[in-house]
Amino acid sequence: MTTIDFRSTMTVELVDHMGTDETIARSARVSSGTSGNLTANRGLLNMLMRDRHGSPFESVTYQFKVTCPIFVAREFFRHRIASYNEVSGRYKVLEPVFYYPTPSRPLRQIGKPGAYSFEAGDYKQQRTAEGEHKRMAVEAWDSYEHMLDRGIAREVARNVLPVSLYTSFYVTMNLRSLFNFLSLRWAHEDSKVPTFPLKEIEDVAKQMDAKARQVCPIAFEHFDAHGRVAP
């Protein structure tokens, strides 16, 4: 019997990037034909962010590898501001890795559409949520393997697998698009505009933010200072 790996964490790897804070400043200065030093460029990036002159931020590009459950990837792919390449269940046998909610994951949904809040579940709810996730994952994986053993095509056998199955994908986006993603998918304390992201995609956003700001620390400093609103 196949051993199933149950996880509750998301992983993000910064695979590649092009450009820095200096790249942003250089792109902005081409319009006026000026040049600047580090101090001047810091002020320029502040002005660009404050006044939402966004195109110079598009000159920096990132590529991340994200590993997360399918239900998180679906939320991510709603952002039509990036390029995606995902693991294909048509071309390879998938890995038996499934998500389950830990006790720290809020379980009770309170309110109405557009105004939900979430609260921690009680002990019984926590055990039920974890148990049902694991039970259905085992059942679905057994069915998947059974069909593969009978010679059924991978693209058909995969249909029984739930959205708790982990997937991996590369996402390539410029810095302006990344700011847009972060503004929507992280309910940050410095955000001027309220947002209500899924907890698991917020975990992804936090990791992307931490890795991306190492490349462009000045741009991210001003992103934070001006309310984390995409320029």
* Distance of alpha carbon 201 from alpha carbon 72, whole angstroms: 6
The single residue of 26, 29, 80, 185 carrying the catalytic annotation is: 185
Backbone angles phi, psi at 174, to 5 degrees: -85, 170
* Distance of alpha carbon 216 from alpha carbon 171, whole angstroms: 18
Backbone angles phi, psi at 125, to 5 degrees: -65, -40
Residue with tokens 């997360």: 68
Those residues with Cβ within 8 angstroms of residue 70's Cβ, 6 or more apart along the chain or in another chain = 162, 163, 164, 165, 166, 167
80 is catalytic: no
The single-letter code of the amino acid at 10 is M
* Tokens read off for 10: 């998301």
N-to-C CA span, the chain: 52
* Distance of alpha carbon 11 from alpha carbon 149, whole angstroms: 31
The single-letter code of the amino acid at 65 is K
Backbone angles phi, psi at 61, to 5 degrees: -125, 140
* Distance of alpha carbon 1 from alpha carbon 91, whole angstroms: 23
Catalytic residue ranges: 185
